[in-house]
Structure 1
Amino acid sequence: MSTEAPPSQADTVIIGAGAVGCSVAYHLTELGAEDVTVIDQGPLPVTGGSSVHAPGIMFQTSPSKIQTKAAHYTSRLLSDAGVYDEVGGIELARSEDRMDFLRRRKEWATSYGLPEPELLSPEEVTDHLPMVDEDEILGGYYSPTDGRVDGIAALQWYIGESSADFYGSTEVTDLDVSGGEIQAVETDKGRIECGRCVIATNNWGYQTGQLAGLDLPIAPVEHQYVVTEPMSELADAGSSVGDNTTGLDVPGERSIAEYMSEGPHQPVGRDQDHSLYFRTHGDSLGMGSYNHETLSVDPEAMGKNSEERQASVRGFTEEHWTQPTHRNRDKSAKQAFDELLPATRDVDYEVTENGIFVFTPDGMPAVGETAQVDNLWTALAIWWTHSGGYGRILAEWMENGTPRLPSGPVDTGGIHVRRFEPHAGEKDYFVDRGAKRYEQVYSIVEPRWQPDDHRRLRTSPFYHQEKELGAEFYQSGGWESPQYYESNADLVDRYEDQIPEQDGWQGINRSQIEAAEHLHTRENVSMFDMTSFSSIMVSGEGSQGFLQRVCSNDVDIDVGQVRYSLLLNEGGGILADVTVVRLDDEEYMVTTGGGNSPGIHGGWLEDHAPETVSVNIEEGAKSTIGLWGPKSRLLLQRCTDADVTDDGFPYFRAKQMYVGEVPVIALRVSYVGELGWELWTPTEYGQRLWETLWEAGQDLDVRPMGGGALSSMRLEKGFRLWGTDIDTDSNPFEAGLPFAVDMDTDFVGKEALESAKADGIDNRITPLTLDGSSDIMLSGRPVLKDGEAIGYVQAGDYGYSIGESIAYTYVPSEHAEAGTSVQIQCEGETYDATVRDEPLFDPGREKLLR
């Protein structure tokens, strides 16, 4: 730690010395990075950000694997550092729905490797938390390694253990960006030229990004917390309040930092039915609340710290504590606490605050190198719970090119800063979506839940036809994509005997029409809107050599040939699966999925392209129809003079041709395992393309098909979905994709794959089918062998063509042999299942190749 002015040059500058910035600095230097400088506008270590006004509670269990893994790493790191109170955590159920939810928590914890998760009876809860009224609860979920981090002590530990240089009371005034990369950080104490920079300013993340011309979707929100006066019920714990911040410079009200540094002696608790949590502070009790209307803060008006004011803390608004202002809760925070913890009913509060922290539009962190500015990285929207883990992940990513924890590579698709769609940086949008995520923090969010605000931002040219056909639209990446069509309701009667009922949680927001569309496509012909998918045009001198370097497969192919390939990171993890189409000698079309794919996958290609190669990400520039089913050739031939026979247009070939008057790039590929084509055309032709095919196919019973049918059809065929079955925490051999790797070529990640192959492949993906049950398995649920977790469900659905429920999972190689019996835990039940060979449907590819 230094009180001097920062240097004029550093290899790495980290802006923000809170939980995240300190973690990144610690892990970078642990990995060998030198010349790392950390700066913060506040004093050190009590910077005035959320790291020092937060109560430090750490609940590790999440439906997200990466969140759970990051949290567990954080708890182990800080426990070893001696700044973590491992008192355990108990989540309470005050409703039957919440008790069902806690069973899911236990299943997720089992899947992702948290130690000894346990469901408790009301009596067992009160053995741990005697202040809880036993009559108010139905039970609890206990994670013994949950607890609380002492924020100030942890920051001191990071600073002391890191070889980075730390400078407090240093305000960033500008970021110098030129030539598309970071050049320097300007501060009120001088300019720091740097090779790379990390934005770790959390509450000020939007403002810091603006200095570099970035619209980072980081929405600050107020959150309430109180600490009671000393309570007789907690008198045995004692207190050291008054000594915790002695000798430290503390902006604003000292009592907040003072009490937050006071540790608990009982498990930390959550009453999610009322959006509440609590922990002891010595002989006082702290109570936190999300149980109020969302109090969004203008991200441009965060302000600065002073002796009188901590900028990340606002004045306590009593009406939000005593009145029910949350639109999904019928009791106020105080009312609910009075019932759950009767001893708190008449106590006074020593500390009150509306503390600020941040949310992104999807509630996940924003981590990674920005697309717009090379060597400018972000580590934002991260709480104490995950700060150690994400610091390690980002440091590995920056130093070694592979985001990972000591347990192995991690999937970054859900946290990558490049995942956000182009409109996400508009302030009203991300503030509103951040407010919704705040509202949902402790809510039970149904499967396939959809937002109702900021809709119809991105629509395909087919939107109005789809709407007339009764499309149920789901939003992904801002696109409105049909999940199923009410116009196909008549198909349910046709296929009634092949569509089992789905009850309970598995059946929520699911329609039998999805199943009917699946079965109709297998027998007839359907049109699928693929406009949310993206094409990336790669052209110019050296295009073939460039793609050969970044693609795992051999892409030295003929004009008109199509090849499936992977993009790998340096560690051999699957960054993307793509289809590569050679259109001319030095012109290729690379197709990828929708959602976060264009930003992540297209951005990666842009980053690695030489100056002679142009990479144009055509997000929204082309409209695409998937024309699939045994009658697809008959329909397509009616609309084109091109030869679409099997001899004239073989599988995995492409043609530039006309459908009616519409110019298309037609690919003979099919993501559903049926004869079919993808038809790509400039967006302005999209509506006519739909009309042409639709009118020509009426006597063939052509139907629209939605995403629900796509999901079940691709699982039957064993086709992978990036971000679900494959991602950066798996390599191609584990993922069952050796055919997408040509080890005779030279590509990014090859060396790592050679090492993995030499070491042996310990885990493999495999399909499971349930023995005697048609229930659909949900992702994240544990797969067991002899009572021990060996994997978890990556994706599940019912295979309507094969008449079996399918779940895909990675399991140790010794359990991956077909015929192996396993079990799956889902929604509190244990199902018998069997490992199967893939593909489950049409293993001879007769349907694809006819």
Structure 2
Amino acid sequence: MRHMHRETHPSQTDTVIVGAGAVGCSVAYHLTELGAEDVTIIDQGPLPVTGGSSTHAPGIMFQTSPSKIQTKTAHYTSRLLKEAGAYDEVGGIELARSEKRMDFLQRRVEWAKSYGLPQPELLEPEEVTEHLPLVNEDEILGGYYSPTDGRVDSTQALAWYMQTSSADFFGNTEVVDIEVSGDEVQAVVTNRGRIECNRCVLATNNWAYQTGKMAGLDLPIAPVEHQYVVTEPLDELTGSRRPHGEATADLEIPGDQGITEAMSQPPDRPVGRDQDNSLYFRTHGDGYGLGSYNHESLVVDPDEMGTNSEESQASVHSFTEKHWTKPTHPNREKSAQQAFNELLPDTENKEFQITENGIFVYTPDGMPVLGETPKVDGLWTALAIWWTHSGGYGKILAEWMENGVPRLPSGPVDTSGIHVARFEPHAGSKDYFMDRGGKRYEQVYSIVEPRWQPDNHRGMRVSPFYQQQQELGAEFYQSGGWESPQWYDYNEDLVEKYEDQIPDQDGWQSVNRSPIEAAEHLHTREHVSMFDMTTFSSIMVEGPDAGEFLQRICSNGMDLTPGKVRYTTMLNEGGTIIADLTVVCLGESEYMVTTGGGNSPGIHGSWIKQHAPDTVSVTVEESAKCTIGLWGPDSRLLLQRVTDADVSNDEFSYFSSKRMYVGDVPVIALRVSYVGELGWELWAPSEYGQKLWNTLWEAGQDLNIRPMGGGALESMRLEKGFRLWGTDIDTDVNPLAAGLPFAVDLETDFIGKEALVEEKETGLDKQVACLTLDNSTDIMLSGRPILKSGEAVGYVQAGNYGYSVEESIVYTYLPAELAETGTSVQVQCEGEYYDATVRDEPLFDSGRNKIIR
């Protein structure tokens, strides 16, 4: 660590990191480890104890998550800090006080197996109390034990980062502005002067919204209060006493030094969680630390976070006793006090040495915020990250910044769920992200159902077809803020027609599903359906160098003549998939690039814009066009009725396009299909949407035209083996491993080619595999382990029932030697073991007779 006590920071540096807590220090450490020079890190607080959430947090680390990236980053963090001598690997036990929670803990075991955590196991009540003798055994049904869970010593870890990194650290330095010019970051202005820089990293967590505003950004990150107390010494823990004051001696501590000192006391037994009551706990020497999410969400206006002083930490608010003693959480019947008294009776009636309402942050979807901001080049984010994942995300961001490939030592990682560009346009509204952040806080220990849907801030973004969809009884799911039909009650009559082809689904696999989804699937295979694709986006790429530019960013050949359409991937420098795209040549210098819904427009559109030369215009049309997928055997008959254009196979072949009219509506029609049936995508200006829908609907009545929702789309695309970005493919896999060699032309030059060629020459370690269950129609859930001889060899990327092929389908990645057709494996899901076999893909219409006719 250099210059920690020097008052004057440099006037120029390559990289400025704002925030010297767990995340900022991790980024600095990993950047300099990769060879980055001239890195400066500043913080408003003293060093190493800055006074942010990193220093008031109790440091408990539970690694297991339904999210692969959250689990992987947590495990990396625990290994890194253990090696640094700042991690107590005492294990972690999550308790169950209900049968539903025991089922959930079984899912924990399965996620841990899938994502590589060592030795996860379920415990009987008496096994729990062997590890945690103060727990009332009569109150629990069992527990989930992860032996590598534990606790980070925040003070020691921060000091280690600062001593190990070659970055320059400056405390007591407040950022007052971030200068941006020409959409590029220029400088960070502090109360001690100005620092010109090429890159700036915001690692400000609780102050993220404020620092983002300095650069003209509305980052949707809500600070929320959370309660924690430390009891007076317990007789039962007398053997764990150590002198207080050792850990923080001679350190400048903002606010209550007792909080920082208490957090430095190590646990002597596993850390625990009682998620049924939104509680967690750990020992602090001879006292017990008790943490509670068991109260109403206490969201703080991010503009009112304030700053630290000698008397107080801005990220620590006064303890509110009513939230401890009263049941204010909307989904919990007991207060934190009552639940702890039952679970840890030795803590009942004990005085509290330390109390706090500490502040953490939440995003609308509960996930971190990483990456370069789409609006300001050179401005990077590392936000909404806790100690648990801080080491891993610091590594990912440093690799991203230095090498263009977000990765951990285990390999490239999936960034679709953490990317700063993933948020919808309205996410920056304070009312929105504070409400949604509060909801995520409320859910943090809840059992969230598959396909759970929020009940507030609905109807934000609707397609032009919304009125017709409501009239047809659409069950709307929210995706990227859009209201997207999952199925239509209008089609309920089809369930009886196809009931012999729709297996029952029970238990967790059946939650928030409808047999109507299956009926819509089967109807589309026989007749014709309309699917609302308005959440998908078009990106217009125009200019004299547009073709050359597209060839540079696309892995497939872009030698397109007007009217031609080509599927391609877009890769990063490491050869892994940033996006899969459909490129349409509309004219000599005019292209329409189409990408998926949800977070695709922000992530993919911003990447294309950032890489475009001045001679190429890129316009992301996130809602300028509406789109209908017209699919099914009767789609040509219907389309020909409403257009003067010739839509025969000879005149409108597969993977071609035409500008034409549907009735009076001007459309760009693409002869492509995401469901494996004859069909078209019809792209029209949004203002024509209702007319487009009505024209097709009225003309198709005698053909039994039906609306189709997202549930049918998912099962149909899996039968056909079509990939879905963010699910089957992402930045953690290359197109060769993903089974997409037809989307790669190695005769051309493109970003990522060198890495892809090297991967091809050395041989693929893993390969996509299509599995079907041998003896079951159950639907397999994502994240569940694929086993060979009892060992996890992969996990479910996507699963559904194929109603046309009459088999339960799983897509996964397996070691290359196991991805061979005929290989037998097992899938573990909800505690059951299912025999499965690797199959040739696609399962449906392998000769493409239906889609090309």
Distance 2:706 2:731 in 1: 36
- Aligned counterpart, 1:486: 489
- For 2:273 and 2:243, locate their aligned partners in 1 and report how far apart those are by CA, in whole Å: 25
CA distance in structure 2 between the partners assigned to 1:311 and 1:579 by the alignment: 49
Query: What SS is found at the alignment partner of 2:198?
Result: strand
Say how many residue pairs are matched: 850
Residue 386 of structure 2 aligns to which amino acid in structure 1? W
CA contact (8 A) 1:184 1:192 kept: yes
Whether 1:263 aligns to 2:238 is no
Per-residue CA deviations over 1:36-57 (Å, capped at 9, x if unaligned) read 0000000001101000000000
Tell me the amino acid that sits aligned with residue 526 of structure 2: E
SS across alignment from 1:9 = coil
Once the two structures are TM-superposed, the CA of residue 331 in structure 1 deviates from its matched residue by: 0.1
Matched residue SS, 1:742? coil
- In the other structure, the counterpart of 1:351 is 354
> Are 1:657 and 2:660 an aligned pair?
yes
Give the 5 Å matches for 1:406-485: 406-485=409-488
How far apart, CA to CA, are the structure 2 residues paired with 1:772 and 1:53? 52
Which SS does the other structure have where 2:707 is aligned? strand
Deviation of the 1:772 alpha carbon: 1.2
Instruction: Report how far residue 762 of structure 1 moved.
Output: 1.4
2:644 counterpart (627, 641, 644) = 641
Q: How does 1:82-97 map to 2 (within 5 A)?
A: 82-97=85-100
Q: What's the TM-score, normalizing by structure 2?
A: 0.99
Q: Using the alignment, how far apart are the partners of 1:499 and 1:140 within structure 2? A: 36
Matches within 5 A, 1:50-65: 50-65=53-68
Deviation at 1:240, TM superposition (A): 3.0
2:293 is matched with 290
Alpha-carbon distance in 1 for matches of 2:542, 2:67:
38
Task: Identify the match of residue 701 of structure 1 among 700, 704, 707.
Answer: 704
User: What is the rounded CA distance, in whole Å, between the counterparts of 2:305 and 2:606 in structure 1?
Assistant: 31
What secondary structure, in the 3-state scheme, does the structure 2 residue paired with 1:286 have? Answer: strand
Q: Distance in 2 between matches of 1:140 and 1:70?
A: 23
Letter aligned with residue 764 of structure 1: Q
CA distance in structure 2 between the partners assigned to 1:816 and 1:393 by the alignment: 28
Give the Cα–Cα distance (whole angstroms) in 1 for the partners of residues 237 and 33 of structure 2: 41
**CA separation in 2, counterparts of 1:838 and 1:555?**
26
Any gaps of 5 or more consecutive residues in structure 2? none
Aligned to 1:38: 41
1:539 paired residue among 525, 538, 542:
542
Are 1:550 and 2:558 counterparts? Answer: no
Q: Give the structure 1 partner of residue 745 of structure 2.
A: 742
Task: Tell me, in whole angstroms, the C-alpha distance in 2 between the residues paired with 1:66 and 1:692.
Answer: 45
Q: What per-residue deviation string (whole Å, max 9, x for no partner) do you get for residues 369-409 of structure 1? A: 00110000000000000000000000000000000001100
2:783 alignment partner in structure 1? 780
1:154 pairs, out of 153, 157, 172, with: 157
The answer to whether 1:369 aligns with 2:372 is yes
Kindly provide the CA deviation profile for residues 61-115 of structure 1, in whole angstroms up to 9, marking residues without a partner as x. 0000000000000000000000000000000000000000000000000000000
What is the Cα-based RMSD across aligned positions, in Å?
Answer: 0.5
Partner SS state of residue 13, structure 2: strand
Q: 5+ residue gaps in structure 1?
A: none
Shift in Å at residue 818 of structure 1?
1.0
Superposed, which structure 2 residues align to 1:246-645 within 5 Å?
246-645=249-648
Q: Deviations over 1:496-533 (max 9, x none)?
A: 00000000000000000000000000000000000000
Please say if 1:833 is aligned against 2:805.
Answer: no
SS in structure 2 of the partner of residue 802 of structure 1:
coil
Alignment partner, residue 765 of structure 2? 762
Aligned partner of 2:211 among 201, 208, 213: 208
Residue in structure 2 matched with residue 3 of structure 1 by the alignment: 6
1:731 is the counterpart of 2:734: yes
Return the alpha-carbon distance in structure 1 between the equivalents of residues 46 and 289 of structure 2: 25
Partners of 1:298 and 1:184 in 2: CA distance: 27
1:241 CA drift (Å): 1.7
Secondary structure of the corresponding residue to residue 764 of structure 2:
coil
Which residue pairs with 1:79 in the alignment? 82
The aligned amino acid for 1:52 is T
Using the alignment, how far apart are the partners of 2:449 and 2:137 within structure 1? 28
Q: Distance in 1 between matches of 2:519 and 2:682?
A: 24
Deviation at 1:581, TM superposition (A): 0.2
Local SS of the residue matching 1:260 = helix
Letter of the structure 1 residue corresponding to residue 392 of structure 2: G
SS in 1 for 2:825: strand
Is 1:717 the counterpart of 2:720 in the alignment? yes
Report % sequence identity. 75
Query: In the alignment, is residue 16 of structure 1 matched against residue 19 of structure 2?
Result: yes
SS of residue paired to 2:113:
helix
Matching residue within 194, 197, 201 for 1:191: 194
**Aligned residue for 1:100?**
103
Q: In the alignment, residue 67 of structure 1 is paired with which amino acid?
A: Q
So what's the TM-score if we normalise by structure 1?
A: 1.00
Separation in 2, partners of 1:321, 1:433: 23
Contact 1:2 1:165 (C-alpha < 8 Å) held by counterparts: no
- What CA distance in whole angstroms lies between the structure 2 residues aligned with 1:461 and 1:17? 47
TM-superposed deviation, 1:3: 2.7
Distance 2:538 2:563 in 1: 16
Q: Is the contact made by 1:240 and 1:262 (CA closer than 8 Å) also made in structure 2?
A: no
Of residues 807, 811, 824, the one that matches 2:810 is: 807
- 2-structure distance, mates of 1:2, 1:367: 30
- The one-letter amino acid of 2:262's match is Y
- State the alpha-carbon separation in 1 of the partners of residues 656 and 798 from structure 2: 29
CA contact (8 A) 1:240 1:282 kept: no
Conserved? CA contact 1:413–1:723, under 8 Å: yes
TM-aligned CA deviation for residue 737 of structure 1: 0.3
The equivalent of 2:756 in structure 1 is 753
CA contact (8 A) 1:572 1:750 kept: yes
Taking the aligned partners of 2:55 and 2:37, their CA distance within structure 1 comes to 27
Task: Report deviation, 1:142.
Answer: 0.4
Question: CA offsets per residue over residues 200-225 of structure 1, 9 Å max, x none?
Answer: 00000000001001000010000000
In structure 1, distance between residues paired with 2:559 and 2:175:
49
